[in-house]
Amino acid sequence: MSTPAFDIASLHAFYAADGTVAEIIDQVFARIAAVDDPGIFLHLADRQSLLAEAAALGTFDPAKPLWGIPFAVKDNIDVAGMPTTAACPDYTYGAIEDATVVRLLREAGALVIGKTNLDQFATGLVGVRSPYPIPRNAIDPMLVPGGSSSGSAVATAQGIVSFALGTDTAGSGRIPAGLNNIVGLKPSVGALSTTGVIPACRTLDCVSIFALSVDDAWHVFSVAAREDGDDAYSRAVPATGYGRLPPMLSIGVPAKADLRFFGDAVMAAAYEDALDMLRGLGHRIVEVPFVEFYDVANLLYEGAWVAERYAAVKDFFDTREASFHPVTRKIYGAAKTLTAADAFNGFYALQAMRRKLAPVIASVDLFCVPTAPSHYTLADLAAEPIRENSRLGTYTNFVNLLDMCGIAVPTGKRSDGLPASVTLLAPFGRDGLTASLARDIHRASGLTMGATGWSLPGAGQPDTEIAPGIDIVVVGAHLSGMPLNGQLRELNASFVREARTMDAYRLYALAGQVPAKPGLIRVEAGTGGEIYVEVWRLTPDAFGRFVAAIPSPLGIGSISLSNGTEVKGFLVEAAAISGATDITGYGGWRSYVEAGAQQKAGGAR
């Protein structure tokens, strides 16, 4: 039997066909030897222990979603029986228990291959601030690997493991993904427990996921996203909303005058290509002012959050300062001059910026930014270690401060052959929305996975299966791109399909509704029209909350669709059509609204 690619679906197909975990473990160690990069792992699991752990799994159990899947763990996250170093040898301790996220993944059948290198204490975006050998960028060894989760990203990109855990405070789960041609999922803050994780900025830290595909990243997220009573910053973030996307998402991008590539015209062109791809997928690009997002980013290395990094390791730093990497020591040492007043001033500044940016963030469905503004070589870093690190964080540093989720996804190759990547961002809890669009982008890119040459499963097929739930037909202001569609997104609804009703309905523009709404009413078959609608899917709990909030004269009833199916959806009380305008001839609310907008535009000429 030939050795499979290491995406989860391929490995599970291998196991279902009587392949063994022992064969995959042998392949993992063979790839470690072939890649021959001593900077990736700081500690490897013992092969015999892994084989014993694999034997304990028994026969293939598809009920365990990660059965037999090899993964790696950044070395600031505890794995029982392995040392945790945070890339600082003098800090090393033996972990007695798994971090919560590691435990959940192991319970699902995954196997820890080893602990990976990082920028010391997860402080840096370059991947070179380590006393150990530096991991080599999987695509071009002359480039920085990106950090701080350097080893995790490279291990994944090289196909040594199926996925890896990193952490992300300022971009550490996105920058290395973008620089190594893989996916980096940065969840909403609190979605994945940080119990058993050495903190950088405790209030902002996320455990992140590196994977070869978006499907795999989401698969891991769906296992690990559990609220943890032992983590004061843990929050419930259901793994919902991943599926087919509606047409015409509004995607915010930095206004052209606000884009920053620091002279890298090749990266700028690659970003424009990515925006063209989004247009080709049927979505709408909306330029938004971005300078204030950069102002938020600047807060991360001022006042409160530098002090928070220092506070995380204060006792060790104060007694063992010489143990720190020179650049890390300089950053942490600066916190000693800060006061409580500096910290509170930082909190106040952030709260003011959050309030100011809230309407900008709410004005679009999600954002698309470059993952990194440029690629930097190791020589660049040697010449400008602080400046280039700072530039790498241009589009990442503000994200956790603004309580947004994000996912970095490859978009193709730049004209010079280096990886191109964008990051999709959305407000807290909308992880499924960003991942859904990321999957469409990755599949449309035509890329293979990481540095492996393996084909991306489902390439050229942007549609995906939808999780079970209750379908609802929306007719008017809840259609994609319409004013109330955000109510569905807030409930992590999944778009299922566009549809038309049977010709037994008439559509009316209701009087006195803010925002404007239509009313759909059933009539005798053949006396109405086929009305454009959308079908969305909600979990039972979300469906109940959504329906409970529907105001009179609208209600929920059974709607017959043109394909012969019946789905619950919006109908209007008969009394409400008195004084309303019959707009059935437009074929749907969107066509009616667009026709009105065109008439207004024509009258303004």
| Residues taking part in catalysis | 74, 148, 172
Contact (CB, 8 A) for 364 and 288: yes
Q: Which residues of 407-427 are buried (b: 16+ CB within 10 A; e: fewer)?
A: bbbbbbbbeeebbbbbbbbbb
How far is the C-alpha of 185 from the C-alpha of 424, rounded, in Å?
Answer: 10
Dist. CA 434–CA 116, nearest whole Å: 27
Which is nearest to 43 in space by CA: 5, 96, 6, 79? 79
Q: Please give the Cα distance from 305 to 461 (Å, whole number).
A: 42
Order of strands across the sheet with 518-522?
518-522, 505-509, 581-582
CB burial of 92-127 (b: ≥16 within 10 Å; e: otherwise) equals eeebeebbbbbbbbbebbbbbbbbbbbbbbbbbbbb
Amino acid identity, position 539: T
Cβ-contact 332, 313 below 8 angstroms: yes
Integer Cα distance of 316 and 492 in angstroms: 43
In this structure, how many other beta carbons lie within 10 angstroms of the beta carbon of residue 167? 25
Amino acid at residue number 202? R
Contacts of residue 132, Cβ cutoff 8 Å, sequence gap at least 6 = 39, 42, 87, 117
Q: Are the beta carbons of 198 and 120 closer than 8 angstroms?
A: no
Q: Which helix (H) or strand (E) holds 569?
A: strand 566-572
Contact 375, 418 (CB under 8 A): yes
Using CA atoms, how far apart are residues 175 and 393, in angstroms rounded to an integer?
8
CB 158 within 8 A of CB 375: no
Closest CA to 192 of 159, 246, 228: 228
Q: DSSP letter at 501? A: B
> E-strand spans in 428-562?
448-449, 454-455, 470-474, 494-500, 505-509, 518-522, 532-538, 554-560
Place of tokens 């379908």: 471
**Nearest-angstrom CA–CA distance, 102 and 81:** 12
d(CA 516, CA 112): 54
HSE-up of 106 (CA within 13 Å, CB side)? Answer: 19
Beta-sheet strand order (sheet of 70-74)? 41-44, 111-116, 70-74, 163-168, 206-211, 183-186, 404-413, 419-427, 366-370, 250-254, 284-288
Task: Give the whole-angstrom CA distance, residue 207 versus residue 588.
Answer: 44
Among residues 130, 204, 217, the alpha carbon closest in space to that of 167 is found at 204
Does residue 387 contact residue 282 with C-beta atoms inside 8 Å? no
